[in-house]
Amino acid sequence: MFQNSNRQMSLIKIVPINLPVHLDIDYVAEVVNDTFRIDTIVSDLKIDVSDAYDDRRNQYRSSVMLAKLDETAGTTGTGTKILGITELDLFMPILTFVFGEAQLDGPASVISSFRLRNEFYGLPENNVLLNERICKEAIHEIAHNFGLLHCDDYMCVMKSSTYVEDIDIKNMELCSSCKELLENTMSACEAPHI
Protein backbone atom coordinates (compact mmCIF):
# COMPACT_ATOMS: atom_id res chain seq x y z
CA MET A 1 0.00 0.00 0.00
CA PHE A 2 2.71 2.49 0.99
CA GLN A 3 6.20 3.11 -0.16
CA ASN A 4 8.36 1.58 2.51
CA SER A 5 10.50 4.14 4.25
CA ASN A 6 12.46 3.94 7.49
CA ARG A 7 10.11 1.76 9.52
CA GLN A 8 12.64 -0.71 10.86
CA MET A 9 12.09 0.48 14.44
CA SER A 10 8.33 -0.08 14.33
CA LEU A 11 6.56 -3.31 15.16
CA ILE A 12 3.00 -4.53 15.35
CA LYS A 13 2.33 -7.36 17.79
CA ILE A 14 -0.80 -9.45 17.55
CA VAL A 15 -1.69 -11.13 20.83
CA PRO A 16 -4.28 -13.93 20.84
CA ILE A 17 -6.40 -13.81 24.01
CA ASN A 18 -8.71 -16.75 24.66
CA LEU A 19 -8.80 -17.48 20.96
CA PRO A 20 -9.64 -20.85 19.35
CA VAL A 21 -6.93 -22.39 17.22
CA HIS A 22 -9.05 -22.62 14.05
CA LEU A 23 -8.66 -18.89 13.38
CA ASP A 24 -5.86 -18.10 10.94
CA ILE A 25 -3.90 -15.53 12.95
CA ASP A 26 -0.88 -15.83 10.65
CA TYR A 27 -3.11 -14.68 7.77
CA VAL A 28 -4.29 -11.70 9.83
CA ALA A 29 -0.65 -10.80 10.58
CA GLU A 30 0.20 -11.03 6.87
CA VAL A 31 -2.68 -8.71 5.91
CA VAL A 32 -1.75 -6.22 8.65
CA ASN A 33 1.89 -6.30 7.54
CA ASP A 34 0.88 -5.71 3.91
CA THR A 35 -1.40 -2.82 4.89
CA PHE A 36 0.90 -0.91 7.21
CA ARG A 37 4.27 -2.08 5.85
CA ILE A 38 5.44 -2.64 9.41
CA ASP A 39 6.89 -5.90 10.70
CA THR A 40 4.00 -7.79 12.25
CA ILE A 41 4.38 -10.77 14.53
CA VAL A 42 2.03 -13.06 16.41
CA SER A 43 3.08 -12.93 20.03
CA ASP A 44 2.83 -15.72 22.59
CA LEU A 45 2.33 -13.22 25.43
CA LYS A 46 -0.14 -14.43 28.03
CA ILE A 47 -2.49 -11.72 29.25
CA ASP A 48 -4.85 -12.43 32.13
CA VAL A 49 -8.17 -10.70 31.37
CA SER A 50 -10.21 -12.30 34.14
CA ASP A 51 -10.71 -8.93 35.86
CA ALA A 52 -12.27 -7.54 32.66
CA TYR A 53 -15.22 -9.88 33.14
CA ASP A 54 -18.54 -8.33 34.19
CA ASP A 55 -20.80 -11.05 35.60
CA ARG A 56 -23.91 -8.81 35.38
CA ARG A 57 -23.53 -8.64 31.59
CA ASN A 58 -21.63 -11.88 31.00
CA GLN A 59 -19.26 -9.86 28.84
CA TYR A 60 -15.75 -8.40 29.07
CA ARG A 61 -14.87 -4.70 29.35
CA SER A 62 -12.85 -3.74 26.30
CA SER A 63 -11.29 -0.77 28.16
CA VAL A 64 -9.79 -3.08 30.81
CA MET A 65 -8.27 -5.24 28.08
CA LEU A 66 -6.90 -2.11 26.39
CA ALA A 67 -5.23 -1.02 29.64
CA LYS A 68 -3.54 -4.42 29.98
CA LEU A 69 -2.37 -4.36 26.37
CA ASP A 70 -1.14 -0.77 26.83
CA GLU A 71 0.96 -1.84 29.83
CA THR A 72 2.47 -4.60 27.72
CA ALA A 73 3.16 -2.27 24.78
CA GLY A 74 5.04 0.06 27.11
CA THR A 75 7.58 -2.66 27.77
CA THR A 76 8.10 -3.64 24.16
CA GLY A 77 9.78 -0.55 22.73
CA THR A 78 9.03 2.71 20.98
CA GLY A 79 6.84 2.47 17.94
CA THR A 80 5.22 -0.78 18.95
CA LYS A 81 1.52 -1.21 18.38
CA ILE A 82 -0.20 -4.13 20.06
CA LEU A 83 -3.47 -5.68 18.94
CA GLY A 84 -5.31 -8.19 21.11
CA ILE A 85 -7.66 -10.58 19.33
CA THR A 86 -10.11 -12.48 21.46
CA GLU A 87 -13.21 -14.62 21.10
CA LEU A 88 -14.64 -13.10 24.28
CA ASP A 89 -17.69 -10.84 23.96
CA LEU A 90 -16.57 -7.23 24.49
CA PHE A 91 -18.56 -4.22 25.65
CA MET A 92 -18.27 -0.62 26.75
CA PRO A 93 -20.67 0.56 29.47
CA ILE A 94 -22.59 2.86 27.10
CA LEU A 95 -22.91 0.22 24.35
CA THR A 96 -24.45 -3.24 24.14
CA PHE A 97 -21.29 -4.60 22.55
CA VAL A 98 -18.26 -3.57 20.52
CA PHE A 99 -16.45 -5.36 17.71
CA GLY A 100 -13.29 -3.64 18.88
CA GLU A 101 -11.76 -0.63 20.58
CA ALA A 102 -8.54 1.28 20.09
CA GLN A 103 -6.56 4.00 21.79
CA LEU A 104 -6.60 6.90 19.35
CA ASP A 105 -2.95 7.76 18.70
CA GLY A 106 -1.99 5.15 21.28
CA PRO A 107 -0.29 1.78 21.19
CA ALA A 108 -3.13 -0.62 22.04
CA SER A 109 -6.24 -1.99 20.40
CA VAL A 110 -8.43 -5.04 20.83
CA ILE A 111 -10.98 -6.82 18.65
CA SER A 112 -13.42 -9.65 19.30
CA SER A 113 -14.48 -12.42 16.96
CA PHE A 114 -17.51 -13.21 19.14
CA ARG A 115 -20.04 -11.30 17.01
CA LEU A 116 -18.09 -11.72 13.77
CA ARG A 117 -18.91 -15.43 13.53
CA ASN A 118 -21.83 -16.42 11.30
CA GLU A 119 -22.97 -18.89 13.97
CA PHE A 120 -23.77 -15.98 16.29
CA TYR A 121 -26.53 -14.99 13.82
CA GLY A 122 -27.79 -18.56 13.30
CA LEU A 123 -25.97 -18.93 9.97
CA PRO A 124 -23.62 -21.74 8.85
CA GLU A 125 -19.98 -21.49 9.92
CA ASN A 126 -17.81 -19.66 7.38
CA ASN A 127 -14.18 -19.30 8.47
CA VAL A 128 -13.16 -17.51 5.25
CA LEU A 129 -15.70 -14.76 5.95
CA LEU A 130 -14.72 -14.73 9.63
CA ASN A 131 -11.04 -14.19 8.81
CA GLU A 132 -11.98 -11.41 6.37
CA ARG A 133 -14.06 -9.67 9.04
CA ILE A 134 -11.25 -10.01 11.58
CA CYS A 135 -8.74 -8.53 9.12
CA LYS A 136 -11.01 -5.54 8.45
CA GLU A 137 -11.48 -4.90 12.16
CA ALA A 138 -7.74 -5.33 12.81
CA ILE A 139 -6.83 -2.77 10.13
CA HIS A 140 -9.57 -0.42 11.38
CA GLU A 141 -8.42 -0.46 15.00
CA ILE A 142 -4.69 -0.26 14.24
CA ALA A 143 -5.37 2.72 11.95
CA HIS A 144 -7.02 4.39 14.98
CA ASN A 145 -3.73 3.75 16.82
CA PHE A 146 -2.10 5.84 14.10
CA GLY A 147 -4.60 8.65 14.67
CA LEU A 148 -7.14 8.01 11.91
CA LEU A 149 -10.79 8.77 12.68
CA HIS A 150 -13.91 7.22 11.18
CA CYS A 151 -14.48 7.84 7.47
CA ASP A 152 -17.74 8.72 5.71
CA ASP A 153 -16.86 6.57 2.67
CA TYR A 154 -18.94 3.41 3.21
CA MET A 155 -16.39 1.35 1.26
CA CYS A 156 -13.41 2.49 3.35
CA VAL A 157 -12.23 0.15 6.10
CA MET A 158 -12.33 3.18 8.44
CA LYS A 159 -16.12 3.46 8.11
CA SER A 160 -17.74 2.88 11.50
CA SER A 161 -19.52 -0.48 11.83
CA THR A 162 -22.59 -0.87 14.01
CA TYR A 163 -23.68 -4.18 12.50
CA VAL A 164 -21.72 -7.05 11.01
CA GLU A 165 -23.32 -6.25 7.65
CA ASP A 166 -21.53 -2.88 7.77
CA ILE A 167 -18.24 -4.76 7.99
CA ASP A 168 -19.16 -6.98 5.05
CA ILE A 169 -20.00 -4.00 2.84
CA LYS A 170 -16.73 -2.16 3.28
CA ASN A 171 -13.42 -3.04 1.70
CA MET A 172 -10.37 -4.34 3.50
CA GLU A 173 -8.49 -1.22 2.35
CA LEU A 174 -8.34 2.44 3.21
CA CYS A 175 -9.88 4.96 0.81
CA SER A 176 -7.41 7.29 -0.92
CA SER A 177 -8.00 10.09 1.62
CA CYS A 178 -7.42 7.83 4.65
CA LYS A 179 -4.43 6.25 2.92
CA GLU A 180 -2.87 9.70 2.50
CA LEU A 181 -3.64 10.64 6.12
CA LEU A 182 -2.07 7.42 7.37
CA GLU A 183 1.03 7.88 5.25
CA ASN A 184 1.43 11.46 6.53
CA THR A 185 0.92 10.35 10.14
CA MET A 186 3.38 7.48 9.85
CA SER A 187 5.96 9.72 8.16
CA ALA A 188 5.60 12.31 10.95
CA CYS A 189 6.12 9.56 13.57
CA GLU A 190 9.36 8.60 11.88
CA ALA A 191 10.70 12.14 11.47
CA PRO A 192 13.75 12.78 13.64
CA HIS A 193 13.04 14.91 16.69
CA ILE A 194 15.34 17.91 17.06
Catalytic residues: 141
Give me the count of residues in the chain.
194
Largest CA distance in the chain: 57
| Residue 66 φ then ψ, to 5° | -60, -40
Question: Read out DSSP for 40-82?
Answer: EEE-------GGGEETTTTEEEHHHHHHHHHHHHHTS-TTEEE
From CA 135, how far away is CA 133, in angstroms rounded?
5
Q: How many CB atoms lie within 10 A of CB 176?
A: 10
Nearest to 147 by CA among 112, 174, 167: 174
SS3 of residue 29 by DSSP:
helix
| CA 17 vs CA 85, 170, 194: distances in Å | 6, 26, 39
